[in-house]
Structure 1
């Protein structure tokens, strides 16, 4: 004879959150407060940027929009930095969207990391093109000669691609040969999707290149100063000899 069925006993209740549960659903997680370093104006701007890229109006933006959003805020995020932001602030590697509070913490992290790469490239361009007053424009042929010899030399193929893009985005003026390198760098960094191969590897203008340029410039300045000092001493000696000849001062 089999065991008797229990009488008056109810089946066990499923745990909360499981289909068929009779208890209240678990409360949704409350998003953490925004970083304290942001002013109300900052938060308004960051939220506006987020809303503009929330295409489906679901309070989330797609992962691929984050690099463009950061660039629109004036940053120049590198690929490894984007990956680090995703690893640090997203729940797991399978998430394909970013929520507002995650976006705000990504901005804070990027601010703390600093963002001087674009500035370094711009200064390198200014030095290579001998744009001492930093007008943002250069003689393209002069810049080309320097890029073919400084640091890790630019290749002919890279320069041709670079020239094509510079002509297309009107940063190069073939009439006078001028090149707006500041605008060119901005254009390269603001591209959301690059359908063409990047015409120049900006990392060729790395710290070694900048250091080499600084050393060369320091040497040139030293030689120029030595030349001026020698010319000054020669003028003083010529003046002294004339005064001796005129009897104004005794000879040695």
Structure 2
């Protein structure tokens, strides 16, 4: 009878179980800020999706300054970094979610700024773009800036024209100036070529905007005054003709 084979020892496999606890709760998405209307949210969502090229409900963090400029803000580097610190999870996050985007807009609105908005409104008023087409006659705009405030020099205007022609915000054929595009391009200036933005008006931008709006209002009131005086003269003439029997009474 052959000897029994010794039983093979089964190796004990040690399993290192790690106590993980319950799974983390899903992140609770805060509601949109209450200050935004439905129209606001539609606009902000549309802009967000425009930059969400991969359609993953996230946009690259580097695009946030450009997106804020699209809304008329002029975010400074320090402000952008503060927004990231306030609303992003940590410094290693490289994308921004939609609810974070809304929080950033609300914060920026509370902080104020509106350089780009102020300068755009000023050009609109100076160029008499009452219908808000985004275009003004360049020569009219130029004449306005040569007359009031601290006038720009011809050399400074040459800088304007060169840049406006280069970025196609000035159409030499019809003489129209796309001021919104010009301001946006200046805000997005390449530091390699422009250490400082071209000196727009030699004035504080908000002061300029207030002056321009006041000037436009004064012109409007003057036109209304002249129209009222003309109407009054015509009515007096009509009443005189009625009194003389040359027109039938009302």
Q: Does the 8 Å contact 1:137/1:180 carry over to 2? A: yes
Equivalent-residue separation in structure 2 for 1:33 and 1:185 (angstroms): 39
- Deviation of 1:60 after TM superposition, in Å, equals 11
SS where residue 134 of structure 1 aligns? coil
Equivalent-residue separation in structure 1 for 2:246 and 2:202 (angstroms): 66
User: Larger relative contact order (C-alpha < 8 A, sep ≥ 6)?
Assistant: 2
SS where residue 183 of structure 1 aligns? helix
Aligned residue in 1 for 2:125: 127
Aligned residue in 1 for 2:141: 143
Map Cα deviations across residues 99-129 of structure 1 (whole Å, 9 max, x no partner).
Answer: 44x6667523331033883444333222111
In structure 2, stretches of 5+ residues that fail to align are 1-15, 33-40
- Deviation of 1:69 after TM superposition, in Å, equals 5.6
Q: How many residues align?
A: 213
Q: Decide whether aligned partners of structure 1 residues 151 and 90 sit closer, same or farther in structure 2, where only a CA change above 3 A counts.
A: farther
Tell me if 1:36 matches 2:10. no
- Deviation of 1:161 after TM superposition, in Å, equals 2.2
- Deviation of 1:90 after TM superposition, in Å, equals 6.7
Q: Decide whether aligned partners of structure 1 residues 157 and 78 sit closer, same or farther in structure 2, where only a CA change above 3 A counts.
A: farther
- Deviation of 1:77 after TM superposition, in Å, equals 4.0
TM-score by length of 2: 0.60
Map Cα deviations across residues 186-244 of structure 1 (whole Å, 9 max, x no partner).
Answer: 3334x374432223448957332232233333333333333333333333333343444
Which deviates more from structure 2 when the two are superposed, residues 151-160 or residues 232-241?
A: 151-160
In structure 1, stretches of 5+ residues that fail to align are 1-21, 53-58
Equivalent-residue separation in structure 2 for 1:123 and 1:205 (angstroms): 14
| RMSD, aligned α-carbons | 4.6
